[in-house]
C-alpha cells in the first residue's frame, strides 16, 4: 500500500484573498470619490464664477459710495459672515477636507493643506456669505438715508494721488477718507496744490456712523 504524504493546508490563503478584497474595495471607493468630486467641483466652479460676476456688477453699478467708520460694520458685516461661512463650508466639505489632510504624511505638507483650504474658504465665504450680508446692509443703509435730510459739507483736501487708482483724500471725523476720481479730473489734479482746494460733498446719513455720498466736487479756495 502506497502512503502518500499529506498535503499541507495553506492557512494563509483566506488572509491573502481578504487583503486583495480590501485593496479592491479601497480602489473602488477612491474611484467613486474622485468621480463624485469631479461632479461637485464643476458645480462649485460655476457657483464661484457666478459669485465673482455678482460681486463685480454689484460693486460697479449698485453699491453706494459711503464715508464714515463704525466698528460694528467690521464685526457684524465683515468678520461675522466670514467666520460663519468658513464654519459652514468646513462642515459641508468635512469628508473631502479630512481625506486631503490624511492623504499627506509630511508635517509641512499638512500645514500647506490646512493653509491652502483655509485661504480658499475665506475667499469663498467672502464671495457668498460676505456679499449677501453686504447687499442687505447697503439696502438698509440706503433706506435709512432716504429718511434723513440732505447735507452739504466741505472739507480741506489733504492730498491728490495721481498714479495708479487715482483719488483725493480728506479728513472726515478725524479719519482719512478716499474718493476715487475720473481720468479727466486726475489730469487736472496733477498740476494742483491740495492746500488750494476743498471738497464739497452732498451726503445723507445712513445707519450707524456712515454717510452716503450723493455728489461731490472740488472747490478752489484761493
Final residue belonging to a domain, choices 146, 171, 194: 146
| For residues 139-161, average pLDDT | 96
Judge if 159 and 211 occupy the same domain.
yes
Final residue belonging to a domain, choices 118, 146, 174: 146
CA 179/CA 81 separation, integer angstroms: 26
The rounded percent of the chain whose pLDDT value lies above 70 is: 88
CA 213/CA 202 separation, integer angstroms: 6
Supply the pLDDT for residue 16: 61
pLDDT, tens only, 55-94: 999 988 889 999 999 999 999 999 999 999 999 999 999 9
Judge if 106 and 36 occupy the same domain.
yes
The rounded percent of the chain whose pLDDT value lies above 90 is: 73
Name the residue range of residue 153's domain: 149-220
Q: In sequence order, which residues have a C-beta less than 8 Å from that of residue 218 and are 6 or more positions away?
A: 157, 168, 185, 197, 198, 199, 200
Final residue belonging to a domain, choices 90, 116, 146: 146
Residue 28 has pLDDT above 90, yes or no: no
| Domains in the chain, number | 2
More confident residue, 11 or 21: 21
| For residues 110-124, average pLDDT | 95
199: phi then psi, degrees, rounded to nearest 5: -105, 125
Judge if 111 and 197 occupy the same domain.
no
Amino acid at each position: 500500500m502506497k502512503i502518500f504524504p499529506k498535503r499541507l493546508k495553506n492557512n494563509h490563503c483566506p488572509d491573502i484573498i481578504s487583503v486583495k478584497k480590501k485593496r479592491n474595495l479601497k480602489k473602488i471607493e477612491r474611484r467613486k470619490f474622485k468621480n463624485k468630486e469631479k461632479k461637485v467641483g464643476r458645480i462649485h466652479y460655476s457657483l464661484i464664477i457666478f459669485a465673482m460676476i455678482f460681486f463685480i456688477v454689484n460693486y460697479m453699478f449698485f453699491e453706494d459710495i459711503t464715508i464714515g467708520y463704525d466698528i460694528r460694520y467690521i464685526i457684524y458685516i465683515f468678520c461675522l459672515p466670514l467666520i460663519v461661512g468658513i464654519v459652514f463650508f468646513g462642515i459641508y466639505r468635512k469628508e473631502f477636507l479630512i481625506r486631503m489632510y490624511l492623504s499627506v504624511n509630511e508635517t509641512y505638507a499638512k500645514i500647506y493643506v490646512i493653509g491652502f483650504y483655509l485661504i480658499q474658504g475665506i475667499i469663498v465665504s467672502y464671495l457668498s456669505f460676505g456679499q449677501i450680508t453686504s447687499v442687505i446692509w447697503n439696502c438698509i443703509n440706503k433706506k435709512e438715508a432716504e429718511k434723513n435730510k440732505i447735507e452739504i459739507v466741505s472739507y480741506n483736501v489733504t492730498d491728490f494721488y495721481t498714479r495708479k487708482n487715482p483719488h483725493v483724500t480728506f479728513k472726515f471725523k478725524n479719519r482719512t477718507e478716499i474718493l476715487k476720481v475720473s481720468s479727466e479730473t486726475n489730469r487736472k489734479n496733477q498740476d494742483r496744490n491740495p492746500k488750494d482746494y476743498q471738497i464739497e460733498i452732498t451726503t445723507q446719513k445712513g445707519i450707524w456712523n456712515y454717510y452716503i455720498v450723493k455728489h461731490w466736487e472740488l472747490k478752489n479756495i484761493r
